[in-house]
Amino acid sequence: MTTILETQQLTKSFGNNQILKGIDSKIEKGEVIVVIGPSGSGKSTYLRCLNSLETSTSGTVSFEGQVVNQLSEEQLDKIREKMGMVFQSFNLFANYSVLQNLNLAPMYVQGISETEATQKSRALLAQVGLADKADAQPTSLSGGQQQRVAIARALAMNPDVMLFDEPTSALDPEMVGEVLNVIKDLAQTGMTMVIVTHEMGFAKNVADQVWFMDQGQLIEKGTPEQVFDHPQEARTKDFLSKILAS
């Protein structure tokens, strides 16, 4: 097994507010990690630190054996290329069509020709079930469709790892399924993934490991069975009982 992402004593503060309080974590190639925990526990911040959208306050983040904290902006850009990120609010580029959303980074970052990029983008759109939406404007799509486009856009860069930041939280209930199915399919392909989500059924289904975070700390790690059926920590039990009661 090779380690793709690793953090050591990672902390992150905004002003006096410490969001992450020393996270030690390791993500192996091909693993699907699902991060659960109450709102404000630092899950999203952790994810954003992994691809340096946030700069850590102390501790280290390593990607494929390289410590990223000291890297220049240009080197960080190189690293972000290899990490796809999917946001809660989709963040499709409002000034481009669906196809152009997918083509943009391959063309401008990797220097691929438009013809080649388009070919690949169309294949990816077909993969997420949106082949017919290539020329649509993002705003004309439903939330579920937008999020599927966002996933395809991230995949267009051939990332080594995919980060999902609550990908279904902004969706109407009936659209959650279509997005989770795309992510599930992706997991089948052996893609390394870190998924922050509140969808416990999905977590059980797809995760190799479930991590429980609370108040800026990684409280408990384990297989879905371990964490969901036999939680060791009181805070995990407390959280799960609230979730399952609702």
Partner 1 sequence: MKTKKHHLLIWVLLCLTLLVSSIAIAPQQETAAAPKTDAKLTAIKKRGYMVLGVSADYPPYEFHKTINGEDKVVGFDIDLARQVAKDIGVELRIKELGFDSLLGSLKTGKVDMIVSAMTPTPEREKEVAFSQPYLTVAQKVIVRKGEENKYRSVMAFKGQKVGVQKQTTQEQTAKDELSGAKVVSLEKVTDLILNLQQKKLNAVVVEAPVANAYVQTNKALTLANVKFTNADYGCAVAVAKGAPAYLANVNKTIKTVQKNGQFAKWQKTANTLMFSKQNFWQAYGSYFLKGTGITIVLTILGVFFGSLLGTLLALMKRAKNKLIKGIAVVYIQYFRGTPLLVQVFMIYFGTQVIHLNVSAFASAALALSLNSGAYVSEVIRSGIQSVAKGQSEAARSLGLSSKQTMRLVVLPQAVKTILPALGNEFISLLKESAIVSVIGVGELMFQTSVVQGSSFKPFLPLVIASLIYFALTLILSLVLRVFEKN
As a whole number of angstroms, the longest Cα–Cα distance in the chain is 55
Q: Does 75 bind partner 1 (CB under 8 A)?
A: no
State which residue, 164 or 239, has the beta carbon closest to partner 1.
Answer: 164
Question: Can residue 157 be called a binding residue for partner 1 (CB under 8 A)?
Answer: yes
- CB-nearer residue toward partner 1: 136 or 170: 170
Q: Which stretch binds partner 1 (CB under 8 A): 27-35, 74-82, 211-219, 221-229?
A: 74-82
Site string for partner 1, 18-57 (x = CB under 8 A): ---------------------------------x-x----
**Is residue 85 part of the contact set for partner 1 (CB under 8 A)?**
yes
User: For partner 1, which stretch binds (CB under 8 A), given 77-85, 118-126, 129-137, 196-204?
Assistant: 77-85
For the chain, report the end-to-end CA distance as a whole number of angstroms. Answer: 38
Beta bridge partners of 7: 25, 61
Sign of CA dihedral 95, 115, 188, 61: negative
Q: Which C-beta is closer to partner 1: that of 82 or that of 198?
A: 82
In the list 4, 34, 43, 84, the residue contacting partner 1 (rule: CB under 8 A) is: 84
Candidates 4, 23, 36, 83; binder of partner 1 (CB under 8 A) is 83
Q: Does 242 bind partner 1 (CB under 8 A)?
A: no
The residue among 104 and 200 lying less far from partner 1, judged by its C-beta, is: 104
- Sign, CA dihedral 125-187-5-23, equals positive
Asked if 153 is part of the footprint of partner 1 (rule: CB under 8 A), the reply reads yes
Q: How far is the CB of 44 from partner 1 (least distance, A)?
A: 12
Among 71, 104, 112, 170, binds partner 1 (CB under 8 A): 104
CA distance 244 to 222: 19
Contact footprint for partner 1 (CB under 8 A): 51, 53, 73-74, 77-78, 80-85, 87, 89, 91-95, 104-105, 108-109, 150, 153-154, 157
